[in-house]
Amino acid sequence: MSDEYISADFPLDGEDLTGTADSLLIEHQEIQEAIGILEEVLPDVEDPLGIFIALFDLYNELENMDEAGACLMEAARRVSLGEHTELTYFLHNHLELYAHLHADVQEVYERLSQQISHGQGELGENTLHLDQRKIYQADLIPELMLAKHLHRFRVISDEECMLVLQGLCVCENREPDMPRCVLSLMEELELPHLIPAIEYLAEDAQMPYIDLNLMDPDPEILERLSKDFYRYRGALAVAAVGGEALVAMLNPYNLQLKEDVSLLIGSEVHFTLCSASGYRALLNLYVGEGGF
């Protein structure tokens, strides 16, 4: 995992049209790979609703409306069976665009309409957060690739990979208080290969590991990035090294995140790997009442 996972949404200074086309091709390849990862695990997932919503988003990125609509319908079918009623309005609104295309979609759409008419569903402030999912899951594709990478090299088991992939695609109607990533999910689920995964990542990515629980953070450096950035993305600026920022990451292969951090900080950045527990502890301290 290296340069193949770089993506760009716009041409950089001095980049010609050929370079832009190459970047778009790489981005589409990443999306296709993410789709393949999720579709491979679908038969083994007990509750695939979140994965179908993630696939809907990914196929939309490729402008493949037929596949996007099919995934949305599969997600809506889970709601029509009486599960995940908090997603009723969200899926109903999106499915309306596809309801005229196929009779099967129309049937599911009408069923959701009936549920709403019977009060099974709530449209409130939290419901609107579901439409912010791409902001809250900006690093979904790199995290999917990380899970697959750990599984491919036998660092995590089949079951661990399945649980992590399912967790990455959870669609919640609330803002996250911690980046949803492979390491945070492994910690939350108490998966057995968490420590081996961290050790492997540090060695494989050749990135030093830092224990944030032992850090005395620099408030001035922390404020170089916003609290929302820390909640949604897996990178935390913690200290200065020779006048330059030291940033702890939860995914050492996420090159787009590294680029975003460097652009926001505006100077040379030194990256290091950290654990989810250390990240969470420092984040809670920083965003808690009174802060530092």
Does residue 106 fall inside a structural domain? no
Amino acid 38 reads: L
Does residue 96 fall inside a structural domain? no
Length of the chain: 292
Average pLDDT, consecutive stretches of 10 residues, N- to C-terminus, the chain (292 residues): 36 51 82 97 92 96 92 90 82 86 85 84 64 88 98 97 96 86 97 98 97 89 93 94 93 97 94 97 79 56
| pLDDT score recorded for residue 228 | 93
Does residue 145 fall inside a structural domain? no
Whole-number Å distance between alpha carbons of 274 and 21: 35
Does residue 246 fall inside a structural domain? yes
b/e sequence 50-84, b meaning 16+ C-beta within 10 Å: bbbbbbbbbbbbeeeeeebbbbbbbbbbbbbeeeb
Q: Give the 3-state secondary structure percentages of the chain, helix then strand then coil, rounded to 5.
A: 60, 5, 35
| pLDDT score recorded for residue 19 | 59
| pLDDT score recorded for residue 126 | 59
Does residue 191 fall inside a structural domain? no
- Six-digit token string for 275: 């654990």
Whole-number Å distance between alpha carbons of 89 and 125: 12
| pLDDT score recorded for residue 35 | 98
Does residue 76 fall inside a structural domain? no
3-state secondary structure of 154: coil
b/e sequence 96-115, b meaning 16+ C-beta within 10 Å: eebbeeeeebeebbebbeeb
Does residue 282 fall inside a structural domain? yes
- Single pTM value for the model: 0.88
> How many folded domains does the chain comprise?
1
Question: What CATH number is attached to the domain comprising 267?
Answer: 3.30.300.160
User: Domain span at residue 280?
Assistant: 212-287
Does residue 229 fall inside a structural domain? yes
